[in-house]
Amino acid sequence: MNAMTLQVVSPVPTDIDIANSIQPQHISAIAKKLNLNPNHYDLYGKYKAKVLLPVIDELKGQKDGFYVVVGGITPTPLGEGKSTTTVGLCQALGAFLDKKVVTTLRQPSQGPTFGIKGGAAGGGYSQVIPMDEFNLHLTGDIHAITAANNLLAAAIDTRMFHESTQSDSALFNRLCPPNKQGNRIFNDVMYTRLKKLGIHKKFPEDLTPEEVKRLVRLDVDPDTITWRRVMDVNDRFLRKITVGQGVDERGMVRETGFDISVASEIMAVLALTDSLSDMRARLGKMVIGNSKSGEPVSADDLGLGGALSVLMKDAINPTLMQTLEGTPVFVHAGPFANIAHGSSSIVADKIALKLVGPGGFVVTEAGFGCDIGVEKFMNIKCRYSGLRPQCVVIVATVRALKMHGGGPAVAAGKPLDRAYVSENVSLVEAGCANLARHVEIVKGYGVNVVVAVNRFSSDTDAEIAAVRAAALAAGAYEAVVCSHFAHGGKGAIDLGVVVQKACENATEPFKFLYPLDASIKDKIEAIARSYGASGVEYSEQAEKKIKMYSKQGFAGLPICMAKTQYSFSDNPAAKGAPSGFVLPIRDVRASIGAGFIYPLVGSMSTMPGLPTRPCFYDIDLDVTNGKVKGLS
Amino acid sequence: MNAMTLQVVSPVPTDIDIANSIQPQHISAIAKKLNLNPNHYDLYGKYKAKVLLPVIDELKGQKDGFYVVVGGITPTPLGEGKSTTTVGLCQALGAFLDKKVVTTLRQPSQGPTFGIKGGAAGGGYSQVIPMDEFNLHLTGDIHAITAANNLLAAAIDTRMFHESTQSDSALFNRLCPPNKQGNRIFNDVMYTRLKKLGIHKKFPEDLTPEEVKRLVRLDVDPDTITWRRVMDVNDRFLRKITVGQGVDERGMVRETGFDISVASEIMAVLALTDSLSDMRARLGKMVIGNSKSGEPVSADDLGLGGALSVLMKDAINPTLMQTLEGTPVFVHAGPFANIAHGSSSIVADKIALKLVGPGGFVVTEAGFGCDIGVEKFMNIKCRYSGLRPQCVVIVATVRALKMHGGGPAVAAGKPLDRAYVSENVSLVEAGCANLARHVEIVKGYGVNVVVAVNRFSSDTDAEIAAVRAAALAAGAYEAVVCSHFAHGGKGAIDLGVVVQKACENATEPFKFLYPLDASIKDKIEAIARSYGASGVEYSEQAEKKIKMYSKQGFAGLPICMAKTQYSFSDNPAAKGAPSGFVLPIRDVRASIGAGFIYPLVGSMSTMPGLPTRPCFYDIDLDVTNGKVKGLS
């Protein structure tokens, strides 16, 4: 790949101005660099294409490239530039170091784009373009998730309604009606349920009345329903609602709520699946609640696994885009990093690793700080994919380390204290305990760690030197300063060179933090210890749920801890490297289809709100040319 | 255009089997037939493309082709094949009569695809393909509408919340914050509001405290909010809900509900707009409710017209698809035919008319029977577009006419009475009063009427002859039998020939049913008389709303009657051609952005439900090849 001529300007213009100043290449040209031919992808306009899943089969014989994951230290609320570093590193590898490279990123949620924005396309001279297409609609995957999630929600309430108003035989007549010849037949999804019920009969006529009852009555206990509706809009007034108040619903009211779409379990399924058949199975297995007798009720019990798969059949294909310097990017899936695992898709990584081949690089990002993001990347995503990274990049900033060293609070929308813009080496040194803990956690997996110091203009050489020294002391393979925000790929060449070395010199054996066959509690405690906790405390509710999931046969799933990203502990104010705390588990939930149990440490917001002056105030269309204005 | 070799089989296989048996052409080949080059469209996969709006400007100098609209008699609940006839006629014109032709159809709602299905892609050997892509997601337009509609809904509740908890100056500080230089500036959408308020000041500092209050407080009266949330899912439990029950919403609960997405006013805007600037203006003008002082509150008052336009910027481009015989189809917009006008988009028709050029044909469909569908097509859509059809095709079936003649009730899912499958000429003759009334209504616009008898296998020659005679007696230009369901375009050649003649011999001057400057009541009464009503009766609520809209300056809008399609009257059981009834107007509502007032005759369902055994039970993915199974 050849470097495009990126003309950088100082001071760095706004993200949208930079993005609009570059004419993207036709996406077929980007595809060609990866040796993809037009049969391998579907175009979605001129700058996006969905790479089709069967490419995986075609490339089966190929060897994989290097697999690099970018994590971060415990961040400030302003973010430390993890996405930007991911993109900048790839621009360096592809446009300057002449490597085959693919960046794999999560699709951002559209809701926050109109609320309080945290850009997900990178920033400055390290971005994915076209930036507006990246942030809006993309190729419709999140819309497909919204549609599928809500079809399942509608099916649950409607089924309860129909069960409450019909006799067993009326339900049977409707669910399994006689055909024109007067015969009833089971369809595939009914066989799935019969098998689950232990009824091994082929013909509807052979069912006893008791078996008919078990087949047709899901008997969902409304108090156990965990499936909520979703919407890709920041709509706080939907957090808690009462549904079913229409007269035709005859008083079957119920309290429930909406989450933002990316919090849907279906998003987590999309991120963790690797084939159509696996996706079909996971979607069918998703548990929406329990029957009154305590059995889990699945999407397939509702007859819906197939239709959900149909709604998701195009979403499984990752979207190809490009960076400002013309290197290829896969944008795919965007699961939450708290109640889900926060990484882009296995499908995208697998295809990308084959496409770059030996000596090439796939660079992906883990959500949140390494304590959560990399932990989940390793123990959930890599466990399901079978892939192993050769190198983890930990992004650190002097700003965040100063905060960890005892600097004043940092808050979005408020001016930074001057401690953050003038030299204070001792504050940095004190904060490096946070970086050191993250390095140690990641090294525990047997992977080389490279620390990338994302340099801000106010950082001094002495401060940077302090970070570098601390990183090496903690066992990092190397620590490098980079300035890709201001300079594009050119600013991350050193990082690229070091990452290449770290990959080529990967030697230690990979190890998971916990074995899957440990008990739910043992797994939770292993993760808690990696945070620095001395122990775990379970609420009564958590104890009850752990017993329930164990009894239901789900104890063998990996654990996805829903914890604040602002501290190793459950207390976001505890900066640095706290230890000896007891981690409280308030509740335990499960995404059975996606395939993990998620303990809640504190309460997690799954539906953001809009501020008084949302971003949408400044967003408009230039009606003369169709261009988007004011997106940030 | 050359006829493809459509091999028809008897008896006619299922729609999905026929659709899957034909390999569609690459959509670029279809585009080429219309002289579109790759710069004129964006591909969405291999079989769909969005034709880009600027094509309209490029073709400005071109003359239009003939414009044909397909309506129907008062239907049975089974439907009389209007979409199928629209598609079949185009297959005849394009594939057998060597005409340039474009079919323009509405995008179907995805919700009902999984509930109780009424296919919208046509049927039998007259269909739009790929049928699954037509019915699911398409190119994301409805998803964009859902996102835009719900962003507006979230903004309303959140704004009320922020106004209730903040002082005028706090609101002003947040809505119009000082920049880094300490200066406040108004952005464009704020100037729009200031202008509406009659405040002609350029600088925020110059506002008096009273003016600040008027700017920042929309003071929405929650009881007047007409804007509801939407979802493209049949979710009856969302018809009536209470929102805002989360603790953080501090008791600001409110009753509201969801409609299905195609019922959104934004869908009607999409169908009625003709440019980006017009769409931007309409979206900004949409009224969501009143202030406590009775002033209408718009999307622009909320600062949201621009962001809504950005969400809709790709949706304004119509989607190009193809029929089974390779003729081009534009699929675009899908407004309800009751609370909206029920026709596909002006943009699609305008582009298509230029593309086919003189001697070519654009055939579109009007929702419901002609009494409603064609009336709205003429008085709303044609009024806004400036386009005039040369010919209206009225689709009739012997089955429906027998029902109108006094045959037993026809219901979906129940076996047909034998009256409908054995010869009964007198029943048909009696029912032709319904056809005659529709012919007369349509002739009133000064347009040639062609009656298309959509022949079923049980129809006898004598029955068909009776329909033909009645049609001609009522003033139809011609009446033709067609069998495109069983034979594809070949079965509609006679219809094509007659439609061509009717277009070439269009002579009468076009006239609207009412002038726009008549009062709201006069317009309602003109429409009611066209139905055969002797008068109109207004509820107290309707009277109040008519006064309100008139006072607010909206009396000059056309009227969009929300009436049952199953009778000329408000009583769906009154078949044939009832007259002398008094039409009751229960309520009057308005879609100010789309541009019409809609009186409600009876109650209209805007959110369907799911049956006990929804279609989704049979829908699944063939995971070996990604094909959809069981879609009907």
- In this prediction, residue A119 has a pLDDT band, given cuts at 50, 70 and 90, of low
The per-residue pLDDT for A412 is: 81
Average pLDDT over residues B115-119: 72
Residue A164 CA from chain centroid, whole number? 38
Task: Tell me how long chain B is.
Answer: 632
* Cβ pair B109, B70 in contact under 8 A: no
Mean pLDDT rounded to a whole number for chain A: 95
Chain B partners within 8 Å of A239 (Cβ): 245-246, 248-249
CB contact under 8 A, A136 and B311: yes
Q: Which residues of A touch B247 (CB under 8 A)?
A: 240
Nearest-by-Cβ selection for A613 from B150, B175, B277 = B175
Which 8-state DSSP code applies to residue B564? Answer: -
Minimal-distance CA residue of chain B relative to A132: B310
Q: What percent of chain A has pLDDT over 90?
A: 92
Q: Which residue of B has its CA nearest to A51?
A: B45
State yes or no: pLDDT of A166 exceeds 50. Answer: yes
Does residue B41 sit in helix, strand or coil?
A: strand
Per-residue pLDDT at B2 exceeds 50: no
How high is the pLDDT of residue B489? 97
- Mean per-residue pLDDT for B418-441? 96
Segment B383-416, tens digit of pLDDT: 999 999 999 999 999 999 999 999 999 988 788 8
Q: Could you read off the pLDDT of B292-341 as tens digits, one per residue?
A: 999 999 999 999 999 999 999 999 999 999 999 999 999 999 999 999 99
Q: Average per-residue pLDDT in chain B?
A: 95
- Per DSSP (E only), the strands in B455-574 are 478-482, 535-538
**How does DSSP assign B419-486, residue by residue?**
GGTS--HHHHHHHHHHHHHHHHHHHTTT-EEEEEEE--TT--HHHHHHHHHHHHHTT-SEEEEE-HHH
Q: Which of B110, B240, B630 sits opposite A246 (nearest CB)?
A: B240
Partner residue opposite A245 with nearest CB, options B144, B241, B615: B241
Instruction: Label residue A2 by pLDDT band (50, 70, 90).
Output: very low
Banded pLDDT at A118 (limits 50, 70, 90): low
pLDDT, tens digit (0-9, with 9 covering 90-100), for B36-56 = 999 999 999 999 999 999 999
Cβ atoms of residues B71 and B376 within 8 Å: no
Q: Are strands B582-585 and B49-51 parallel, antiparallel or unpaired?
A: unpaired
The residue-averaged pLDDT of B216-223 equals 98
ipTM: 0.96
CA distance A87 to A331: 12
Distance CA A547, CA B401 (A): 65
CA distance A147 to chain B (A): 7
Q: Residue A71 is inside which H or E element, if any?
A: strand A66-72
Handedness of CA A92, A93, A94, A96 (dihedral sign): positive
Residues from chain B contacting residue A314 (CB–CB below 8 Å): 45, 137
Per-residue pLDDT at B118:
57
Coil, strand, or helix at residue B574? coil
- Overall pTM surpassing 0.95 (yes/no): yes
When pLDDT is cut at 50, 70 and 90, the band that residue B563 belongs to is very high
Q: From the CA of A233, how many Å to the nearest CA of chain B?
A: 6
**Of A7 and B499, more confident:** B499
d(CA A145, CA A327): 28
CA–CA separation, A89 and A95 (whole Å): 10
Confidence class for position B624, pLDDT limits 50, 70, 90: very high
Q: Which residues pair with A361 in a beta bridge?
A: A66, A101
* Separation between Cα atoms, residue B554 and residue B595, nearest integer Å: 9
User: Percentage of chain A with pLDDT > 70?
Assistant: 99
Question: Using CB atoms within 10 A of its CB, is residue B204 exposed (0-12), middle (13-18) or buried (19+)?
Answer: buried
State whether A242 and B238 contact (CB < 8 Å): no
Token duo for residue A511 = 């190890």
Residue in A151, A167, A618 to test binding to B, most B beta-carbons within 10 Å: A151
Residue A163: closest C-alpha in chain B:
B612
Size of interface A-B (CB pairs under 8 A): 281
DSSP, collapsed to helix, strand or coil, labels residue A105 as strand
Sign of torsion, CA B563 B568 B573 B578? positive
Alpha carbon of B498: minimum distance to chain A alpha carbons (Å): 40
Point out the residue among B175, B245, B309 whose CB comes nearest to the CB of A621.
Answer: B309
Q: CA–CA separation, B491 vs A574, rounded Å?
A: 77
Contact residues, chain A, for B171 at CB < 8 Å: 612
Beta carbons of A330 and A320 less than 8 angstroms apart: yes
Tell me the nearest-neighbour CA distance from A485 into chain B, angstroms: 22
Residue B77 burial by Cβ neighbours in a 10 Å radius (0-12, 13-18, 19+): middle
For residue B99, the model assigns a pLDDT of 98
| C-alpha B120: how far from chain center | 12
Mean pLDDT of B344-357: 98
Strands (E), B261-366: 287-290, 296-298, 319-323, 328-331, 361-365
Taking the alpha carbons at both ends of chain B, their separation in whole angstroms is: 29
Q: Do A276 and B626 touch (CB under 8 A)?
A: yes
Based on the number of CB atoms within 10 Å of its own CB, is A198 exposed (0-12), middle (13-18) or buried (19 or more)? exposed
A160 to chain B: nearest residue by CA?
B612
